[in-house]
């Protein structure tokens, strides 16, 4: 297979012919080659996006634009199987996960943000003036212009469309730089855009890496008006520096080291099930995933034993294996990083409750990026494994004795993306939720997402909020018009 850039409505190879390999994380076999954008390719994409702003897209009435985006959502659903196969091949994730989360949400992102925009009122204020006639103020939103979308590999279509949906709904044009690990669904979306009649240049894709490659060329391009990024905090810092030139707007969704707080008064069945999902779904590669679990002492032993038992029931296997609910990590490189933390945990004095190594997957899959789901206990609060984001299928469990202690432990981190609180006491639920220094809190649930709500992180987990009307704030320029009557 060959994954080309999608520029101005056409699939094109790099001007200099450069490519890189794309490998299947299940067995490290070659999926295909991907064009690697040079500065000239990125320039062509950005200029196409700029040009499209003054073409039919720029003239289109909001209702027409919204109708087109609804068509895009429908077309993703019609080509569901192709998107599903592409996403599973790139990431190795079980079909059962991608078919319930990644692809439906990839389509829903186009509908939800169109609806939000269509139903969002603009503000208006009548002002008294000394002559008694008054003045009318009203808010008018226009697109920001060309938006650079830099996305990661863990939920490729979902996280990319979470940004492309509102960007296009607001009338912008986009240049997307998907992760080098997962080029397929962003490319396939180019076909869908053409099939739906989205004008050329509105949606562009350039492939490549970060530094001195497509990511850097895109974020430093002077015609980019805003940059929306999802990925690691350290990458976010680099992109912020690039955005500071020309004072371009940024939206940053970055890393996390998210806590779960399990109180003795919770429904333990639900807490175990929810923590299982939050720590291990998608092989732990979810920014909202739980890596630190704090359990009130009376239920600590039982919780650890039950989570261990459930983890040991996970079935590792290929995406198409219907029994499998646990795939490989995204790449051998990421496996190396996660495995280094497994070794570090032991050096730092952890008790390995389960897992901790690389599983034997048999001759056909042993060259893939497999890793065991892992639970630790007994680490000190300042251990690196407790403080640094691992982004793998692992968590550390620690007991606590009081609500105050649990809150202090949960907040003792540089990150602030989300927290999960498990308690049947509603007063405690509100108290603890409001004390969490994060952008999102779930009480007695996890990753229960309503697209109309704000999404984003506190502290080093990000800057700004997207989702619902909050996305409109970032993706449009609000102008106040004052009319003297």
> What are the residue numbers of the active site?
253, 287
The single residue listed with the structure tokens 């032993």 is: 301
CA-to-CA distance for 255 and 236, rounded, in angstroms?
9
- Tell me whether residue 266 or residue 288 sits nearer to ligand 6OD (CB atom): 288
232 binds ligand NAD (CB under 6 A): yes
- Tell me whether residue 172 or residue 282 sits nearer to ligand NAD (CB atom): 282
Smallest gap, in angstroms, from Cβ of residue 117 to ligand 6OD?
Answer: 16
* Segment interacting with ligand NAD (CB under 6 A) among 15-23, 35-43, 122-130, 227-235: 227-235
Out of 229, 300, 455, 475, the only residue in the binding site for ligand 6OD (CB under 6 A) is: 455
Could you tell me how far CA 241 lies from the centroid of its own chain?
21
Out of 254, 314, 406, 410, the only residue in the binding site for ligand NAD (CB under 6 A) is: 254
Which pair of structure tokens corresponds to residue 65? 């634009």
284 binds ligand NAD (CB under 6 A): no
Query: Cα(first)–Cα(last) distance of the chain, in Å?
Result: 63
Residue 449 contacts which entry, ligand 6OD, ligand NAD, none (Cβ below 5-8 A, type-dependent):
ligand 6OD
Question: Quick check: 89 and 441 in contact, CB under 8 A?
Answer: no
Phi, psi of 279 (to 5 degrees): -95, -25
Three-state SS for 192?
Answer: helix
Out of 165, 166, 201, 255, the only residue in the binding site for ligand NAD (CB under 6 A) is: 255
Q: How many CB atoms lie within 10 A of CB 471?
A: 29
Out of 287, 353, 410, 429, the only residue in the binding site for ligand 6OD (CB under 6 A) is: 287
230 binds ligand NAD (CB under 6 A): yes
Smallest gap, in angstroms, from Cβ of residue 101 to ligand NAD?
Answer: 13
CA-to-CA distance for 393 and 395, rounded, in angstroms?
7
* Segment interacting with ligand 6OD (CB under 6 A) among 3-11, 36-44, 286-294, 326-334: 286-294
Question: Quick check: 338 and 371 in contact, CB under 8 A?
Answer: yes
Out of 399, 457, 464, 468, the only residue in the binding site for ligand NAD (CB under 6 A) is: 457
Q: Which residues pair with 174 in a beta bridge?
A: 147, 203
Site track 19-38 with ligand NAD (rule: CB under 6 A), x = hit: --------------------
Three-state secondary structure readout of 321-371: CCCCCECCCCCHHHHHHHHHHHHHHHHCCCEEEECCCCCCCCCCCCCCCCC
154 binds ligand 6OD (CB under 6 A): yes
Pairing of strands 10-12, 2-3: unpaired
162 binds ligand 6OD (CB under 6 A): yes
CA-to-CA distance for 7 and 124, rounded, in angstroms?
39
235 binds ligand NAD (CB under 6 A): yes
Out of 211, 362, 382, 434, the only residue in the binding site for ligand NAD (CB under 6 A) is: 211
- Tell me whether residue 42 or residue 350 sits nearer to ligand NAD (CB atom): 42
Which residues in this chain contact ligand 6OD in the complex, by CB under 6 A? Answer: 154-155, 159, 162, 286-288, 449, 455
């Amino acid at each position: 297979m060959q994954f080309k850039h999608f520029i101005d409505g056409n699939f094109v190879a790099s001007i200099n012919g450069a490519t890189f390999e794309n490998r299947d994380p299940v067995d490290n076999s070659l999926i295909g080659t991907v064009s690697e954008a040079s500065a000239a390719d990125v320039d062509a994409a950005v200029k196409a996006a700029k040009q499209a702003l003054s073409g039919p897209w720029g003239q289109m009435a909001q209702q027409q634009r919204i109708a087109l985006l609804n068509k895009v959502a429908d077309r993703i659903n019609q080509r569901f199987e192709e998107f599903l196969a592409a996403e599973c091949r790139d990431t190795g994730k079980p079909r059962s996960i991608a078919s319930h989360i990644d692809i439906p949400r990839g389509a829903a992102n186009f509908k939800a943000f169109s609806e939000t925009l269509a139903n969002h009122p603009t503000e208006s204020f009548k002002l008294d003036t000394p002559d008694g006639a008054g003045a009318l103020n009203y808010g008018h939103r226009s697109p920001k212009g060309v938006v650079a979308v830099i996305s990661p590999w863990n939920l490729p279509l979902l996280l990319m469309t979470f940004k492309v949906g509102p960007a296009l709904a607001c009338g912008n044009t986009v240049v997307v730089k998907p992760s080098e690990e997962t080029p397929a669904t962003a490319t396939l979306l180019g076909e869908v855009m053409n099939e739906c009649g989205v004008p050329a240049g509105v949606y562009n894709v350039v492939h490549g890496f970060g530094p001195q490659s497509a990511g850097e060329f895109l974020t430093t391009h002077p015609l980019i008006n805003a940059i929306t990024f999802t990925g690691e905090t350290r990458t976010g810092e680099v992109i912020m520096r690039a955005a500071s030139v020309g004072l371009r707007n940024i939206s940053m969704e970055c890393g996390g080291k998210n806590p779960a707080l399990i109180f003795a008064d919770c429904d333990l069945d639900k807490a175990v099930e929810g923590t299982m999902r939050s720590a291990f779904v998608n092989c732990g590669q979810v920014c909202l995933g739980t890596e630190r679990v704090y359990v009130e002492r009376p239920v600590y032993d039982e919780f650890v034993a039950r989570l261990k038992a459930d983890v040991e029931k996970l079935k590792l296997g290929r995406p198409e294996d219907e029994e499998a609910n646990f795939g490989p990590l995204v790449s051998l490189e990421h496996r190396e990083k996660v495995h280094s933390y497994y070794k570090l945990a032991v050096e730092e004095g952890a008790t390995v409750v389960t897992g901790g190594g690389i599983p034997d997957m048999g001759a056909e899959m042993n060259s893939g990026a497999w890793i065991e789901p892992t639970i630790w206990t007994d680490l000190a609060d300042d251990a690196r494994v407790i403080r640094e984001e691992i982004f793998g299928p692992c968590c550390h469990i620690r007991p606590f004795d009081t609500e105050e202690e649990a809150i202090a432990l949960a907040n003792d981190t540089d990150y602030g993306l989300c927290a999960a609180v498990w308690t049947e006491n509603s007063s405690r639920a509100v108290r603890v939720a409001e004390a969490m220094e994060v952008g999102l809190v779930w009480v007695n649930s996890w990753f229960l997402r309503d697209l109309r709500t704000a999404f984003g992180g506190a502290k080093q987990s990000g800057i700004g909020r997207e989702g619902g009307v909050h996305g409109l704030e970032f993706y449009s320029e609000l102008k106040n018009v004052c009319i003297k009557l």
